[in-house]
C-alpha cells in the first residue's frame, strides 16, 4: 500500500506568493519530481502535458491570490478617504488684492497694496485688517497675512492670503465683517485643503 500524500498548493494565511504563468512550470517541476520519486513508479514522470496542467493550476492559483489581496487594498483606500473627508470641514477667508511696485531700479521704494484707487503700505494694511477683525486677528497674524498677500502678488499679478480658517458659518461671518469694514477689498470663502 502506498503512503497517501497530499500536496498543499495554497500558502499559509498571510503570505502572498508572486507566481507568474511563465514561472509556474519551473516552480512546480520539483514537486512533480518528488511525487515520481516517492511512488517509485517509472510510468509517472513529469511530462510536458503534466507541466502544462500544473502551469494552468498555477495561473488559477495566482488569480485567487489577487482576489485575496483586493479586499485589503479596498480597506486601505476606504481609510484614506475617511481621513481626507474629515479635513474638508475647514473653510478659509481669503483676501485678494494687487500690489503696486516700482521698477527694478527703484528698489528702495516700498511695495504698496492697492484697494480700489487707494494704496496702503504693508504695515497700514495689516493695521486695517486688525481693526476689521479685532477679536480674531492678532497684530502678528494680520502682519503675516499682509506679508503673504505681497509675496503671492510678486509671483502673480494679484496676491492671495488666507486670513482666517474655521468652520463654514464662521468664515462667512468673518467675510461679511471684512467686506463691511473694507468694501474695496475682494474677500472670498474657500475650503482649505
CA distance 139 to 142: 5
Task: Clarify whether residues 28 and 108 are in a common domain.
Answer: no
Question: 114 vs 3, which has greater pLDDT?
Answer: 114
Residue 146: name the closest of 166, 129, 131 by CA.
129
Among 32, 60, 85, residue at a domain's last position: 85
Task: Clarify whether residues 55 and 140 are in a common domain.
Answer: no
Q: Which long-range contacts (CB under 8 A, 24 or more apart) does 19-25 make?
A: 19/58, 19/61, 19/62, 19/65, 20/62, 21/55, 21/58, 21/59, 21/62, 24/54, 24/55, 24/56, 24/57, 24/58, 24/59, 25/51, 25/52, 25/54, 25/55, 25/58
Give pTM, 2 decimals.
0.54
Task: Clarify whether residues 112 and 75 are in a common domain.
Answer: no
Mean pLDDT for 46-69 is 51
Q: What is the pLDDT of residue 144?
A: 96
Q: What percent of the chain has pLDDT over 70?
A: 54
Task: Clarify whether residues 97 and 74 are in a common domain.
Answer: no
**Interval 126-160: pLDDT, tens:** 999 999 999 999 999 999 999 999 999 999 889 99
Radius of gyration of the chain (CA): 35
Number of structural domains found in the chain = 2
Asked if the structure places residue 141 within a domain, the reply is yes
Task: Clarify whether residues 182 and 119 are in a common domain.
Answer: yes
Among 85, 119, 137, residue at a domain's last position: 85
Task: Clarify whether residues 110 and 181 are in a common domain.
Answer: yes
Question: 113 vs 61, which has greater pLDDT?
Answer: 113
Query: In sequence order, what are the residues at sequence separation of 6 or more whose Cβ sits closer than 8 angstroms to the Cβ of residue 76?
Result: none
Residue 60's domain comprises: 24-85
Mean pLDDT for 50-55 is 52
**With 60 as the cut, is the pLDDT of residue 21 above it?**
no
Task: Clarify whether residues 128 and 172 are in a common domain.
Answer: yes
Binned at pLDDT 50, 70 and 90, residue 37 comes out as low
Q: What is the pLDDT of residue 29?
A: 64
Question: 78 vs 189, which has greater pLDDT?
Answer: 189
Task: Clarify whether residues 34 and 108 are in a common domain.
Answer: no
Burial bucket for residue 74 (CB in 10 Å: 0-12, 13-18, 19+): exposed
Task: Clarify whether residues 77 and 42 are in a common domain.
Answer: yes
Q: What is the pLDDT of residue 65?
A: 47
Amino acid at each position: 500500500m502506498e503512503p497517501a500524500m497530499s500536496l498543499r498548493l495554497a500558502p499559509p494565511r498571510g503570505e502572498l506568493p508572486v507566481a507568474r504563468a511563465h514561472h509556474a512550470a519551473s516552480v512546480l517541476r520539483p514537486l512533480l519530481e518528488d511525487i515520481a520519486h516517492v511512488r517509485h513508479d517509472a510510468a509517472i514522470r513529469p511530462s510536458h502535458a503534466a507541466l502544462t496542467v500544473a502551469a494552468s493550476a498555477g495561473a488559477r492559483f495566482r488569480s485567487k491570490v489577487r482576489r485575496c489581496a483586493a479586499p485589503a487594498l479596498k480597506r486601505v483606500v476606504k481609510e484614506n478617504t475617511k481621513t481626507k473627508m474629515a479635513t474638508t470641514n475647514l473653510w478659509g477667508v481669503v483676501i485678494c488684492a494687487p500690489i503696486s511696485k516700482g521698477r527694478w531700479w527703484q528698489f528702495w521704494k516700498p511695495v504698496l497694496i492697492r484697494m480700489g484707487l487707494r494704496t496702503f503700505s504693508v504695515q497700514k494694511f495689516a493695521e486695517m485688517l486688525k481693526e476689521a477683525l479685532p477679536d480674531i486677528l492678532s497684530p502678528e497674524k494680520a502682519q503675516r497675512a499682509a506679508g503673504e498677500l505681497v509675496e503671492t502678488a510678486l509671483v502673480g499679478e494679484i496676491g492671495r492670503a488666507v486670513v482666517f480658517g474655521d468652520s463654514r458659518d464662521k468664515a462667512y461671518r468673518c467675510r461679511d465683517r471684512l467686506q463691511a469694514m473694507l468694501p474695496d477689498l475682494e474677500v472670498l470663502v474657500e475650503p482649505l485643503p
